[in-house]
Structure 1
Amino acid sequence: MNPILEFFSTLLLVIYYWLEAIVLTFIPASLRGKSVAGETVLVTGAGSGIGRLLSKRFAELGARLVLWDINQSGNEETAEQVKAIGATVRTYTVDLSSREAIYKTAQQVKRDVGEVDILVNNAGIVTGKKFLDCPDHMIQKTFEVNTIAHFWTCKAFLPGMIERNHGHVVNIASSAGLIGVNGLADYCASKFGAVGFDESLRMELSMQGKNGVHTTVVCPYFISTGMFEGAKTREIKVPFFKFPAILPILKPEEVSHRIVDAVLCNQHIIMIPRIIYIFVLLKGFLPGKCGEILSKYFGASNFMDTFKGRNPN
Structure 2
Amino acid sequence: MDVLSVLLHFIFPIKMLLRLYSFCILMVDVAWVVFNAICATFQAAYELFRPPPLKTVRLETAMVIGSGRGVGRQIAMQLADLGAIVLCIDINHQNNEDTVDHIKLRGGSAASYICDVTRREKIEELAAQIKKDVGFVSMLFYCCGIPSPRSLMTQPPQDIHKTLDLTLTSYFWLIDNFLPEMKTRDHGHIVALTSVAGLSYIKDKMPLSVAQFAVQGLAESLMEDLRINKIDNVHVTLIHIYPFIVNDEYHDVKLRIPSYFGTISPVEAASSILDSVRRNYPEASVPKHLLCLGHLLRILPRRATVLIRDLLDTGVDFA
What's the TM-score, normalizing by structure 2? 0.84
How many angstroms apart in 1 are the aligned matches of 2:170 and 2:164? 8
Q: Aligned pair count?
A: 291
- 1:298 deviation in Å? 2.6
Identical residues among aligned pairs (%):
29
Matches within 5 A, 1:53-64: 53-64=74-85
> Which of the residues 277, 300, 308 maps onto 1:263?
277
- Contact in 2 for aligned 1:130/1:183 (Cα 8 Å): no
Bigger Rg, structure 1 or 2: 2
Amino acid at match of 2:70: G
Is 2:15 aligned against 1:15?
no
- Contact in 1 for aligned 2:140/2:190 (Cα 8 Å): yes
Amino acid at match of 2:255: T
Residues 121-144 of structure 1 deviation map (CA, whole Å, 9 limit, x = unaligned): 11125463799x525xx2221211
- 1:229 deviation in Å? 7.6
- Contact in 2 for aligned 1:233/1:249 (Cα 8 Å): no
- Contact in 2 for aligned 1:79/1:90 (Cα 8 Å): yes
> Which of the residues 189, 212, 219 maps onto 2:233?
212
Amino acid at match of 2:38: I
Amino acid at match of 2:282: H
Q: Name the residue aligned to 1:47.
A: 68
Alpha carbons of structure 1 residues 285 and 204: separation in structure 2 relative to 1, 3 Å = closer
Alpha carbons of structure 1 residues 230 and 151: separation in structure 2 relative to 1, 3 Å = farther
Matches within 5 A, 1:7-156: 7-28=30-51, 32-124=53-145, 126=147, 128=152, 134=157, 138-156=159-177
Q: Name the residue aligned to 2:9.
A: none
Q: CA RMSD in A?
A: 2.3
Q: Name the residue aligned to 1:238.
A: none
Amino acid at match of 1:157: F
Provide structure 1 residue ranges, at least 5 long, that are not aligned to the other structure.
Answer: 236-243, 308-313
What's the TM-score, normalizing by structure 1? 0.85
Amino acid at match of 1:128: L
Residues 160-180 of structure 1 deviation map (CA, whole Å, 9 limit, x = unaligned): 100000000000012220111
Is 2:256 aligned against 1:234?
yes
Alpha carbons of structure 1 residues 77 and 130: separation in structure 2 relative to 1, 3 Å = closer
Q: Name the residue aligned to 2:308.
A: 294
Provide structure 2 residue ranges, at least 5 long, that are not aligned to the other structure.
Answer: 1-21
Amino acid at match of 1:101: K
SS at match of 1:128: helix
- Contact in 1 for aligned 2:146/2:195 (Cα 8 Å): no
SS at match of 1:173: strand
How many angstroms apart in 2 are the aligned matches of 1:129 and 1:260? 28
Q: Name the residue aligned to 1:185.
A: 206
How many angstroms apart in 2 are the aligned matches of 1:178 and 1:295? 11
